[in-house]
Amino acid sequence: MRVSPLTLHRLSVYLRCLRQMEEAGVHRVSSQELADRFDLSATQIRKDLAQFGEFGIRGVGYDVARLTEGLHRLLGLDQQHRLAVVGMGSLGSALARHLGPDGTFAVVAGLDNDPRKVGTRLAHLEVRHSSELPAVVRETGATIGVLTVPADAAQVNYEALVVAGIRAVLNFAPARLKPNRAVPVKDVDFRINLEELVYFLK
Amino acid sequence: MRVSPLTLHRLSVYLRCLRQMEEAGVHRVSSQELADRFDLSATQIRKDLAQFGEFGIRGVGYDVARLTEGLHRLLGLDQQHRLAVVGMGSLGSALARHLGPDGTFAVVAGLDNDPRKVGTRLAHLEVRHSSELPAVVRETGATIGVLTVPADAAQVNYEALVVAGIRAVLNFAPARLKPNRAVPVKDVDFRINLEELVYFLK
pTM of the model: 0.82
Residue B16 contacts A, CB cutoff 8 Å: yes
Of the candidates B184, B186, B151, which has an alpha carbon nearest to the alpha carbon of residue A23?
B151
Cβ-based neighbours of B127, under 8 Å, separated by 6 or more: B88, B110, B111, B112, B117, B118, B119, B120, B121
> Average of pLDDT values for B142-169?
96
Q: How far apart are CA A35 and CA A42, in angstroms?
A: 5
Reported as a pLDDT band with limits 50, 70 and 90, residue B142 is very high
Spatial distance between the Cα atoms of A155 and A151, rounded to a whole number of angstroms: 8
Mean pLDDT lowest among A49-58, A99-108, B91-100, B160-169:
A49-58
Q: For chain A, say whether B198 makes contact (Cβ under 8 Å).
A: yes
Mean pLDDT by 10 residues, chain A (202 residues): 81 91 91 89 91 74 91 90 95 88 93 97 93 98 96 95 97 90 90 86 79
Query: What number of helices (H) and strands (E) belong to chain A?
Result: 8, 11
Least confident of A188-202, B108-122, B141-155: A188-202
Is-contact A191 A199, C-beta < 8 A?
Answer: no
Q: How confident is the model at residue B1, as a pLDDT?
A: 65
Judged by a CB distance cut-off of 8 A, whether residue B102 touches chain A is no
Rounded Cα distance, A199 and B2, in Å = 9
Q: How far apart are CA B145 and CA B162, in angstroms?
A: 9
* Rounded Cα gap, residues A161 and A183, in angstroms: 9
Using the predicted structure, report yes or no on whether residue B78 has a pLDDT greater than 80: yes
| CA pair distance B133, B135, nearest whole angstrom | 5
Which ipTM value was assigned to this complex? 0.83
Asked if residue A136 lies in contact with residue A128, where contact means CB atoms within 8 angstroms, the answer is yes
In angstroms, the separation between the Cα of residue B58 and the nearest Cα of chain A is: 25
Residues in A closer than 8 angstroms to B189, CB to CB, are: 16
Looking at chain B, which residue has its C-alpha nearest residue A177?
Answer: B38
pLDDT at B9: 87
Compute the distance between CA of residue B147 and CA of residue B171 in angstroms, rounded to an integer. 5
| Chain A partners within 8 Å of B94 (Cβ) | 90-91, 93-94
Contact B144 A77 (CB under 8 A): no
Residue B200 — pLDDT band, cuts 50, 70, 90? confident
Q: Quote the pLDDT of residue B154.
A: 95
pLDDT for A4: 82
B107: distance to nearest CA of chain A, Å? 12
| CA B6 to mean position of chain CA atoms | 15
Q: Is the pLDDT of residue B58 over 80?
A: no
pLDDT at B81 over 90: yes
The verdict on a CB contact (< 8 Å) between A8 and B199 is yes
Q: Are the beta carbons of A110 and B160 closer than 8 angstroms? A: no
